[in-house]
Structure 1
Amino acid sequence: MSEAARLLAAYDDQLRTDAEAAGALAVRVLGPLRLVTFAQGRGFVTYRDLGGADAAAIDELVGQARAHFAADPATIEVEWKTRAHDLAPGLTESLARHGFVAEETESIMIGEAASLAVDVPLPEGVTIRQVSTEADVRAMCAMSARAFGDPPSDGEAIAVDLVSRLSAGDDLELWVAEADGAMVSAGRLEPVPDTEFAGIWGGSTLPAWRRRGIYRALTSARARSALRRGRTLIHSDSTEYSRPILERYGFVRVSTTTPYTWRP
């Protein structure tokens, strides 16, 4: 078995279904699917695989899943996270017919945490720290929204969710880099219970501070924390900004993922 195949098998075995439903308010099983309801009106569809279903059966599953979430007036949006390596005939066409819209495709990157836990020099005046107070979380999310070019309301919604998760004792960590007291880069670490993995998510750097090693240093800090927690593998859904950085540290692109989003 190749390294990429080994890591992809670990991803499928450890990071799908139950792992993706952690912190859910409710989970309904529908054939191979888990229909997950999170706080803030967010729905999510996950599965290990689709059980060899043909296009007609998959189309029925998509319709039933959408109907399930549509019946809940609290639903704001639902994400169906497709993976390129899945056997899923007609899935993307069915999602489009049922009103799901494709978002940006990202690379599923996996590698050893130890390979990221290296010393990275920071520009003068830049420091890294973990944050947890509501004020810091809101400032972090506002900065990230600016970095991604998203409206401030998106950052506010993410901040509300993260503050809620931290208050409930969620095991995630939030890390930021600051220059002269202002946040310029940020990212999350999410250890996955009962697995070898921790995820690195939400990596963002303001345009004026990119290509100075700040994101690499922030990633190294998160990798060191993952190792302290006994997680030896790191996974990330990476944009074209972060994928080359992870590849330089030996990470492997095992597949790609495209989220499809439906909003009532």
Structure 2
Amino acid sequence: MTTHDDDGRAAAYRAAYDTQLRARGFAPGRAGTERIGPVLRRVQPGQGGLILYRDLGGLDGPELDAFIAAQRDHFAALGQPVEWKYHGHDLPADLPERLRAAGFTPGERETVVIGEAATAAAEPRLPEGVRLREVSTGAGFARIRALAEEVWGGDWSWLPPAMTEWVSGADDPCTVLAVESPDGEVVSAAWARFHTGTDFASLWGGATLPGWRGRGLYRTLVGARAALAVRRGFRYVQVDALETSRPILARLGLVPAATTTPYIWRPANGR
């Protein structure tokens, strides 16, 4: 049940998220990223393209249709899929219909939840013999890839090189955490990006092996990453949350601020 206070916090958080994170575009200076009109267009090795923006600068009608088609055609020429990251409060209101008309297909909707890092921060509380550790090597990232493929399916071969870049890069520093069972198996993992020049740390991952769910591992990973955010001077933590994780995040003080849906276009070869 939401309250007027929650609604007020959500509106303030959404405004900060739009102004700071979306307007900035998540480390726009990195390789493979360029500004095209109102959007930030990025090539992500092993994953395809990504289109981010704060707003579309008033684009509408045939002009917007032509702009959407131009982004699709850019990635078609590269033979790569592309995700248009749509938020539910984006304008114009018929943007989803225009994306579908251009051949983009909506994926699973997620809820952007935001809260105070200091409220969500917590010391690890793990089952006996289980430990939480920071991962910073290729071998560790490979183990997290194996975990992700077991939990989510699909090909996550892009993840170890991406994590290597995130952890070693200067833009938006990243910390990767893993939970290990007493025999050393990685049973849960997640990471945080600390967005330089903003008040935000964003939380990603959180995959947990089925046999280890319900033991507080995801909650521990959220609390540990929020504590890192506090120590680094960040005020907010933000998660693109699936419905399965929203109740845990709500108990840690995060409130729904927006919705986001990936609209995906794929080339004819289905890559």
TM over 0.5: yes
* Partner residue in 1 for 2:217: 214
Structure 1 contact 200–222 (Cα < 8 Å) conserved: yes
1:142 aligned onto 2:146: yes
TM-score by length of 1: 0.91
Correspondence 1:89-168 to 2 at 5 A: 89-148=93-152, 150-151=153-154, 154-168=155-169
Q: Which runs of 5+ in 2 are unaligned?
A: 1-6
| 1-structure distance, mates of 2:48, 2:61 | 26
TM-score by length of 2: 0.88
* Partner residue in 1 for 2:63: 57
The 4+ residue runs of structure 1 with deviation greater than 3 A are 21-24, 26-30, 38-41, 164-170
* Partner residue in 2 for 1:66: 72
Instruction: Note the alpha carbon deviations across 1:216-250, whole angstroms, 9 max, x for none.
Output: 11111111111111111000100112111111122
SS at match of 1:2: helix
Structure 1 contact 131–137 (Cα < 8 Å) conserved: yes
Structure 2 contact 181–187 (Cα < 8 Å) conserved: yes
SS at match of 1:20: coil
Which amino acid is the alignment partner of residue 162 of structure 1?
A: M
Deviation at 1:168, TM superposition (A): 4.0
Between the two proteins, what is the percent identity of the paired residues? 41
Which amino acid is the alignment partner of residue 196 of structure 1?
A: D
SS at match of 1:253: strand
Match of 1:187 among 186, 190, 203: 190
Q: Which runs of 5+ in 1 are unaligned?
A: none
Distance 1:204 1:119, change over 3 A: same
* Partner residue in 1 for 2:228: 225
| 2-structure distance, mates of 1:78, 1:21 | 18
Structure 2 contact 112–256 (Cα < 8 Å) conserved: yes
1:77 aligned onto 2:76: no
Alignment coverage as a number of residue pairs: 259
Distance 1:207 1:41, change over 3 A: closer
Deviation at 1:96, TM superposition (A): 1.8
Deviation at 1:183, TM superposition (A): 0.6
| 2-structure distance, mates of 1:185, 1:243 | 17
Distance 1:222 1:205, change over 3 A: same
| 2-structure distance, mates of 1:37, 1:117 | 33
